[in-house]
Chain A
Amino acid sequence: MNIIRAMTLMSVLFLAVLLFTIINQTFGYAIIETKIKPVAIIGENRKLTDLDKLELVEILQENITTGRFSTLERDKSMQERSRDDIYDLVYLEVLQPKIVKTWKLWDSLVDSKEIKQEFAEDYPDAMLIFKSWLSKDFIQNAQSSKPTEAGVRTALLGSIWSILVTILVAFPLGVGAATYLEEYATDNRLNRIIQTNINNLAGVPSIIYGMLGLAIFVRALSSITSGQIFGEFANSSDNGRTLLSAGLTLALLVLPIIIINTQEAIRAVPDSLRQASYGLGATKLQTIWHHVLPNALPGILTGTILAISRAIGETAPLVVVGAATYITFDPKGLFSKFTTLPIQIYQWSSRPQVEFQHLAGAAILVLLTLLLSLNSIAILLRNRFKK
């Protein structure tokens, strides 16, 4: 008993340390310095924050290139933009903020006095802020090489798209296969071999599935996965390294999980229910569709939760299938190049600049939130059907 309790405590401890590490990276003090001092633009007497909209537009126009200004104008005309919006533009485009030093959450809390002292002594012109690297901008911005502007939107959308493809493919296929194996297949050698294979496939390393996906979806079926045969010529340079390939590869990966869990759930449906249904003159299909599957649904959804959790965190197969490590545009459909959150996290955390470590921490929190919300949808569904 005691040893079991100790082991449980230990795992809770490790989880706590993990969570602490992530949160520790995501928040903390940061010193931000602007490349251009406000004084150099508007003189000593005025403060940037006091200016009205027209004055800010003027400053913007004077201090950036005409090309850049018209690009901004094209995004949204200056008239439509609010004053705060233009203030942000001036701050970003003209003053060009740069993070010079960051601290982690723990240091920020414990050594806050020393940090403030260091700030006052060494960076007289800069700004000390308590920065949450996880912010609205972080979720809304696309990937960027500047840590202050880099966001996770591209990767988040990539993850959501690929999970949707995965579930839409793996759920019907998996439930169908499990229903066949449980309700229709006779006990012969071939079916036993299939069953053993499925059980073993659940334990195959995910990178192997990546190789499979590369060979089948990216190479052999590239005309389909790149959208060529659907007339998507614009993206044909992707050579099949698209969201569709990624989703299908992940679907293969989670298929055994869904099949095995669905089989368990179907086996748990009492035989008396089948008999009652047959006794009323129901066909086999009616019995399965109206009684067996609805009663197995909670178990099937449990399998789906496991499958989602597995698929959303997978990195290795997607690297093999060809997820982009650096793209700044959103996926537009099944035939887009893509990146996903785990790949983004991996890429950021392998960078030398310390700012990207903070971004990686924030991206992990986004990934965890996405995972938990998808799972809670499945759990809510399951509880609904359990009644």
Chain B
Amino acid sequence: MISKPDSNHAIRADKLNIYYDKFRAIKDISIEIFKNKVTAIIGPSGCGKSTMLRAFNRMNELLPSTHTEGSVLFMGQDIYAPDVDPVEVRKHIGMVFQKPNPFPKSIYENVAWGARINGFKTGLERLSMDEWVEICLTKAALWDEVKDKLHKSGLSLSGGQQQRLCIARAIAIQPQIILMDEPASALDPIATLKIEELMRDLVEDYTIIVVTHNMQQAARVSDFTAFMNMDEDRAGVLVEYDKTNTIFTNPHDSRTEAYITGRFG
């Protein structure tokens, strides 16, 4: 495990255990995510990558049968502490899902809604909502394609555009961290490429954690890579976490090597 000064940490999990009823899906995972870096989580199906990702903004507990042990430190605060409101956590840690899921509203509303319910705090200079929507769509590399049809339904866009709209929507609430759950797995290669380029651009301003099935994608976009696997109880464990380059060229663990060379998974 790498240790760096604390100020570089965007978020840190400590001895995280997540259960679905009796079944333990995540076992004793501790991980430190670095600020303004893309961190990829890879691993075979069912090893708990998505569960791990959702632990960072308390999305797991939307299923009533889950419960979480351990702590996740974000800005010096354990987000699982009893006095922390999960809604407050999600305002700082945005999320993009596997399947593009824009609201069945206009493109403009898709971006503006999240900003509006969060009190629309855009920093020092007073921006109008129109300007803010334009900024978010521009950051998501979608503005040029939709500027003439802002009031058309978000569902009228293509899959790749919808996913970028979802990214713009996530940016609009000004999160520190953006979680992406296989954001390109439902898209064609060209749309996938655009999303990957976008992630590289966004990492200037945000910390990105991305779950991916696609190892080439992890190698292309991420600075750090975490490899997860199942242990004998089918619980997800963190096998290895290092710089992406190290993971793909010189892994320390034999299971990592087996996985990245395509011998299982």
Contact = CB atoms under 8 A, between A and B. Distances in A.
Nearest to A274: B62
Interface of B: 57, 59, 62, 64, 87-88, 90-92, 94-95, 97, 99, 101-104, 113-114, 117-118, 153, 166, 169-170, 173
12 contacts: A272-B99, A272-B101, A273-B103, A275-B62, A275-B95, A276-B97, A278-B59, A279-B57, A280-B113, A281-B88, A281-B118, A291-B103
A312 B17 CA distance: 58
A273 B88 CA distance: 19
A275 B97 contact: yes
A interface: dominant SS: helix
A272 B87 CA distance: 17
B99 A280 contact: no
A276 B99 contact: no
Contact of A282 (B57, B92, B117): B117
Interface string A132-154: 00000000000000000000000
Interface of A: 186, 270, 272-283, 286, 290-291, 295, 387
Which 7 interchain pairs have the tightest Cβ spacing?
A281-B91, A280-B114, A279-B95, A272-B101, A281-B90, A276-B101, A283-B87
B87 A279 contact: no
Which residue among B59, B92, B95, B101 has the maximum number of chain A CB atoms within 10 Å of its CB? B101
Contacts of A290: 113, 117
A192 B118 CA distance: 36
Nearest to B58: A278
A353 B97 CA distance: 72
Given A279-B97, A290-B117, 9 more contacts: A272-B97, A274-B62, A275-B62, A275-B101, A279-B95, A280-B169, A280-B173, A281-B117, A295-B104
Interface centre among A276, A278, A295, A387 (most CB of B within 10 A): A276
Contacts of B87: 278, 281-283
Contact of B170 (A186, A278, A279, A286): A279
A355 B240 CA distance: 93
B62 A281 contact: no
A189 to B, nearest CB: 16
